[in-house]
Structure 1
Amino acid sequence: MLFLRLVSLVLLSGSGVVLAEPRISPSVIHEKRTYTPAGWSRARRHEASAILPLRIGLVQSNMDKLEELLLDVSWPESPNYGKHWSVGKVVETFSPSRETVDTVRGWLGDSGIEPSRIKLSGAKTWIEINVTVEEAERLLGTEYHVYSHSSGKEHVACDSYELPEHVSKHVDIVLPSIHFDAVVKRDGGSSHTLSNIGQPGVGLVPKTTGTISSILTELETCDEQITLACLRALYEVVYVPVATSKNSFGIVEYTPQAYLQTDLDMFFGNFTPNLVGTAPTMASIDGGYAQTEYTGFDYNGESDLDLQYGMSLVDPLPVTLYQTGDMVEGASFNNFLDAIDGSFCAFEGGDDPYYDATYPDPYGGGYEGAPSGPENCGTATPAYVISTSYSYNEADLSPAYAARQCAEYAKLGLMGTTVLYSSGDDGVAGNDDLCLNSDGSQTANGTMFNPGFPGTCPYITSVGATQVNPGASVAEPESACMQVIYSGGGFSNYFAMPSYQASAVEYYLTTYPPPYSTSQYNATGSRAFPDVSANGANYVVAIDGDFYLVYGTSASSPVTGSILTLVNDARLAAGKSPIGFINPTIYSSAFYGAFNDITTGSNPGCGTIGFNATAGWDPATGLGTPNFPQLLARWLALP
């Protein structure tokens, strides 16, 4: 099983939980936090009579077979390659067992929780009960405190919690507990969310050196400005989609990030004239829309970049924009997953209120739901390729939370969707150039490498960044990006190495052993990233009426997604399935030489030069950049 669990045995010590005699078992620490995240401090003990919406994430069936099942439809030599699953088969295969549901229900009932208070989600993946803080503390053998953020916001958490041993093996995660917000919540008197994944300065965002006065159009100047012509020349992209009625490409944005149609038209007018006046196909998730209340690079840079290049490269295929979250509550990755995978939805389509945005807005003023339900749950069709240019640091989330989300990407792969995420822009450091300390905290002067998430999830394809070297042309090899940003890459602290990349990564570690100790990075058989890369420097992007130079793996991911969408087009036109989860295929011997190997540059961070780009796979540029003719020919040769 890929997920590393942090569970240790302790004796039951005065928790006050009353269990029926036949069900008594010793308690175990289910999750424990070793530090308080930066910006937060413990303010006071939580009021005993306050109500907590306790959510219990149930262990799903067949998780130990997840990689095996995914490889069965993704490994190029498998007889079932490309035979993707239906939604119904996914739900049937992974729903928690009757034993799991009954065990957790029984424990709650024996602990004094009336059956009428226990609610099970439609997909049987979550149990919700509204309890007082006092009840929660007795159930979990813990103490809840209120924490204050430097912004003035507050959050409820505990340091650790216990479960009876016979219950623990049936539970993934309990919320709220040790976890701190991926979405920092409002209080009743605040007017907007402090920081969700789409807020300026939060997570992975593109960088800029400012506006430019003129656009360079010669391929000889691609070292100074990247345009569509440069990308097509770099990756030999000569293809016009023909299966547009069968194919699909989706780009995910998180409000308040939004595109401006005037910016799209400004870009299209210069580079793709036939698209002037064309907008992406909007798939609104939880009240998402192309907001215009806030503008400027920090609000429009990401969406403008993704859509201008994504729409142009796959033209005339329409691009779906998954605009996620409203202006008040915002959203997290789980809110998006809810909408495209109904089996992931929690109780009544909602997420846990302490990690993800909840709808309808509990404070008023935000998205109040649609006729189909309070929150979008299984309402958006997943595209065949989905690109996301946002990320957290892996250490921002607990191992259990990250593992539960990662499993959902595997389910999308089983259904034939390719999921791409940017690998990060700070080399071996995390977002905001933060590094890890031995206690798990993140600071600017930390010495341990800080991998990004979801890039470390073994069931997505992580995309790093390259550059055309100064003074070079597109005919010369690229290097790892070392202008303004550094390609994110390294090794997970949460996930084990998947079998599909073991040979490539072991070759790298043996042939080019990094000059770092195990106290700096996790070299003990963990998931390595990125998987591939594409140019991430000097992009010409129209933003708020000016052309800017933009940098980041934020550009690399949608460009890679566009190229894979063109491969899908050719396969669909030939009557074949979409490529789905690509990692087992691209690491196989059948695809040796299908990527342009990057052998120069590195990804500095945490006071080091990071990892060097080398021959073969490396933790700066992965397998390399796309060679479209090679990728097209090899995927067309598969069944």
Structure 2
Amino acid sequence: MRFLTLPLVFLYILRWAVAKPRILPSLLHEKRNHVPPGWSHSGRHHAMAVLPLRFALSQRNIHTIEHYINDVAHPASPNYGNHWTATQVAEKFTPSHDTIETVKTWLSDNGFGWDRIRVTNLQGWIELNATVQEAEKLLWAEYHVYKHASGKEHISCESYHIPPHVAPHIDFVTPTVHFDVIVSRSPEASHRKIGASGTPINTNMQGRSFNGPKTTGSNSETFNQLDDCDQLITPLCLRALYGLGYKPRATSNNSFAIAEFTPGAYVPSDLDNFGKAYAPDIVGKRPKLVSIDGGTVQAALTGFDYNGESNLDLQYGMALVTGAQNVTLYQLGDSIQHASDNNLLNAFDSSYCGFDGGDDPNIDGIYPDQAPGGYKGKEDCGTVKPANVISISYYYNEADLTPAYTARQCVEFAKLGLMGITVLFASGDNGVAGLINACLNPDGSQSANGRLFNPSFPGTCPYVTSVGATQVNVNSTVYQPESACEQLISSGFLYSGGGFSNHFSIPDYQKDAVQNYLKNYLTPGLPLSYNSTGSRAHPDLSANGAKYAISLQGNFTRVYGTSASTPVVGAILTLINDARLLAGKKPIGFINPAIYSPSFSDAFHDVTNGTNPGCGTLGFNAAKGWDPVTGLGTPNFPKLVEKWLALP
């Protein structure tokens, strides 16, 4: 099985066996080592039940994608900024004729008539409806039924096999080893009124764990903004911290988008209330709504669980780019089924799209949604032009997903980078642990008692920018160094997420920085609880993520987490794009090769204090230069503008 040069875990074992009537050996393609928490085995699936098999075809030239992206994103490259068009991307990576024919012939040789085999329009997938009996014979697998504590049923196998001559042509097959996963939004699920204790909130919205912000006060409390930034973060505090005095002027050519997932929705009156207090120029303004797969700014479900996160993202994203710059809202999925990052990627790239083109029904939203009240319209495939900067605060535990799934999605993010798009993801709020403080066990399962570090995804994809969180220390000012975010909140502790991937190897742009940390600053005596074999490390950079004031239902609430820091970084990069566009240059695109380069070494406020505990350890420590707690540090906007304006 072939996925870039990135994943470390794609070391598949040859299994030689004899199966009647075939005598060819098969290669173990994917294997699941455990049943996820909450699921229990119910029994074998009925032999004559029909499975919608979908074969993800390997794309051409994927093994060279890191070279291509460095060619347009590294500041030392003569082609810096020469981003590709969508047509160029499609032409370079579309599966080859040989791949399509090899897979079709294999299916035909195993008894499936040509009339049953369908290649999708853009040739990325092959579809085949097969009985369980046929699928088990084809894939050397056994399909079982599993039941969730909620009553939901799921069909899965523990492993499946592909012949050696076919394996290089298939990324993965669904449905097979994949299970439903919980997607979480940072920050941690907790909020409280200023000066009062709060109640932990962790509402599971049909498979998605929604984690929201906290309050920094009621409207009756007064704060002196800059004098009290250690207690309450406002847009003024952030402008002082990062040197944001820039007024955007190339706004008609620029774009900044924030993704939200229904039923999460912002409240217009709260946006105005926030604007009156902290950003008068956004009063009356609204984000440009781009509905994807039936996404709506619903108003039926209200309160912190449903409005807190979207309010946070849009209030700060819009305030920091000022009222002069329009902000786009990607609202994804209906209130019944919801959506995933893949649904967003479908809307950008039709070749990635659809159940007949890529989605896994166990993870992604499948549209049209046939459930009562579901979105019955056509799935959005290639209908949206991506914004220059996209901020996304949802994330998974990397261990929730198979390496095949993460690799294919990571390639899609790389394609966006080739086209000059900046994609930001929150690094997580549980330090070196995963969602709900779950850590890994040696067998790959997750539990509160695990001792192996549990990184988040998509932040560990080498082709996105992962954003950690910092804080203004108590009794300190915005003119003093920040520390890594270490906050006691009502649901427990909140720590900036960071660590090392178990799926992806380290990209070239990061090698020197990570090696410097491991050699000189790694905490003495830290147990070998992380992948130390040369893997992608995150976060890449950070911004303040503690004690944000947001308006919620007419009051003000204090919020925490990397979900706060991510749209702030998005706004800062949008302002940098404005400066470049005003100078007749192109957007900055995928920023990692640039920010890790020596020429950008003084463009961040280095954060050297703090840790990110979890899994029974103190985690990693912040240190001089890059570290797996705060990355390269927080943005120094004037320096970043200067350096990016100096590039072609």
What TM-score does the superposition give when structure 1 sets the normalisation length? Answer: 0.94
Q: Deviations over 1:475-512 (max 9, x none)?
A: 11000001131000000011000000000000000001
CA 1:580–1:564 in 2, change beyond 3 Å: closer, same or farther? same
**SS state of the match for residue 463, structure 1?**
strand
8 Å contact from structure 2 (residues 181, 207) kept in 1: no
Q: Using a 3 Å threshold, how does the CA distance of structure 1 residues 350 and 283 change in structure 2: closer, same or farther?
A: farther
Greater shift, 317-326 or 510-519, is seen at 510-519
The whole-number CA distance in structure 2 between the counterparts of 1:109 and 1:636 is: 56
Distance 1:51 1:116 in 2: 17
Q: Mapping of 1:93-492 within 5 angstroms?
A: 93-182=92-181, 199=205, 202-203=208-209, 205-208=211-214, 211-212=217-218, 213-315=220-322, 316-346=324-354, 348=356, 351-369=359-377, 374-483=378-487, 484=489, 485-492=494-501
CA distance in 2, matches of 1:388, 1:614: 27
C-alpha contact 2:497 2:629 (8 A) present in aligned 1? yes
Q: In the aligned structure 1, how far is the partner of 2:225 from the partner of 2:632?
A: 28
Give the CA deviation at 1:347.
Answer: 5.3
Equivalents in 2 of 1:155, 1:343: separation in Å?
27
Distance 1:211 1:120, change over 3 A: farther
Which residue is 1:12 aligned to?
Answer: 17
In 2, distance between residues paired with 1:141 and 1:61? Answer: 27
Tell me the alpha carbon deviations over residues 306-350 of structure 1, each in whole angstroms, 9 at most, x when there is no partner: 000001111211000000100111011101110012221145566
CA distance in 1, matches of 2:182, 2:352: 18
Q: What is aligned with 2:189? A: none
Q: Which stretch has the larger CA shift, 407-416 or 5-14?
A: 5-14
Contact 1:205-1:390 within 8 A present in 2 as well: no
**Range with greater deviation from structure 2 (336-345 or 617-626):** 336-345
Q: Which amino acid aligns with 2:315?
A: Q
| Matched residue type, 2:15 | V
Counterpart of 1:598 in structure 2: which amino acid? Answer: V
Residues 125, 350 of structure 1: alpha-carbon distance in 2 compared, 3 angstrom cutoff: closer
In 2, the alpha carbon distance for the partners of 1:295 and 1:222 equals 29
Show CA shifts across 1:202-242 (max 9, x none): 45733425643424133121000000000000001001110
Give CA deviations for 1:79-121 in whole Å, capped at 9, x if unaligned: 1000000000000100111111000000111111111111112
Distance 2:364 2:117 in 1: 21
Cα distance, 1:428–1:516 mapped onto 2, change above 3 Å: farther
> Runs of at least 4 residues of structure 1 off by over 6 A?
none
C-alpha distance in 2 between matches for 1:398 and 1:390: 18
The alpha-carbon distance between structure 1 residues 453 and 281, as it changes in their structure 2 partners (threshold 3 A), is: same
Pairwise CA distance, 1:133: 1.1
Tell me if structure 2 keeps the 8 A contact 1:6–1:31.
Answer: no
Q: Deviations for 1:228-280, whole angstroms, at most 9, x for unmatched residues? A: 00000000100111001100000001111110111111101111223222110
Tell me which amino acid in the other structure corresponds to 1:108. L
The residue identity in structure 1 corresponding to 2:455 is P
Quick check: 4-13 or 296-305, which moved more? 4-13
1:6-62 deviations in Å (ceiling 9; x for gaps): 411011332x5x56xxxx741111111111111111111111111111111111000
Report the AA paired with residue 121 of structure 1.
T
Instruction: Tell me, yes or no, if the aligned pair for 1:204 and 1:392 is still in contact at 8 Å.
Output: no
Residues 215 and 549 in structure 2, CA contact (< 8 A), matched pair in contact too: no
Q: Distance in 2 between matches of 1:299 and 1:198?
A: 11
Aligned amino acid, residue 389 of structure 1 = S
Distance 1:566 1:136 in 2: 52
Aligned counterpart, 1:187:
none
TM normalised by structure 2 equals: 0.93
State whether residues 46 and 132 of structure 2, in contact with CA within 8 Å, keep that contact through their aligned partners in structure 1. yes
Instruction: Give the Cα–Cα distance (whole angstroms) in 1 for the partners of residues 305 and 295 of structure 2.
Output: 18
Q: 1:583 to 1:558 in 2, by over 3 A?
A: same
Q: Which amino acid aligns with 1:77?
A: A
Corresponding letter in the other structure for 1:556 = S
CA distance in 2: counterparts of 1:320 and 1:366, whole angstroms: 24
Q: Which residue of 1 aligns with 2:563?
A: 554
Name the structure 1 match of 2:195: none
Q: How far off its partner does 1:183 sit?
A: 6.6
Change (3 A) 1:518 1:6: farther
Aligned to 2:188: none
CA contact 1:264–1:542 (8 Å) conserved in 2: yes
**2:205 match: secondary structure:** coil
Q: Deviations over 1:157-200 (max 9, x none)?
A: 0000011111111111000101101379xxxxxxxxxxx99938
| 1:300/1:543 contact within 8 Å kept | yes
Match of 1:28 in 2: 27
The alignment-based identity, stated in percent, is 58
Task: Name the count of aligned residue pairs.
Answer: 618
**Structure 1 gaps, min length 5:** 185-195
Q: Residue 102 and residue 347 in structure 1: after superposition, are their counterparts in 2 closer, same or farther (change >3 A)?
A: farther
Of 2-11 and 165-174, deviating more is 2-11
Q: CA deviation at 1:355?
A: 2.5
User: Would you say the 8 A contact 2:18–2:24 is kept in 1?
Assistant: no
Partners of 1:337 and 1:94 lie apart in 2 by 16
Whole-angstrom CA distance in 2 between matches of 1:131 and 1:367: 28
Structure-1 separation of matches of 2:167 and 2:207: 38
Larger mean Cα displacement after TM superposition, 235-244 or 122-131:
122-131
Greater alpha carbon shift after TM alignment, 421-430 vs 271-280 = 271-280
CA deviations 1:378-405 (Å, max 9, x no partner) are 1011000000011000000001100000
Give the counterpart letter for 1:124 in structure 2: Q
Pick which of 212-221 and 3-12 moved more: 212-221
Report the Cα distance in structure 1 between the residues aligned to 2:525 and 2:334, rounded to whole angstroms. Answer: 44
Pairing partner for 1:524 from 502, 519, 533: 533
Residue 618 and residue 350 in structure 1: after superposition, are their counterparts in 2 closer, same or farther (change >3 A)?
closer
Q: Hey, what's the Cα distance between the residues in 2 that align with 1:595 and 1:204?
A: 31
Counterpart of 1:3, as a letter, is P
CA, structure 1 residues 416+247, in 2 after alignment: closer, same or farther (shift >3 Å)?
A: same
Q: Letter of the aligned partner of 1:34 in structure 2? A: N
Q: Aligned-pair distance for 1:516?
A: 5.2
- In 2, Cα distance between the equivalents of 1:230 and 1:547? 16
- Render the CA deviation track for 1:608-639: whole Å, top value 9, x for unaligned: 11111100000000000000000000000000
Partner-residue secondary structure (3-state), 1:603: coil
Conservation of the 8 A alpha-carbon contact between 2:336 and 2:371: no
Which residue number corresponds to residue 193 of structure 1?
A: none
Is 2:587 the partner of 1:582? no
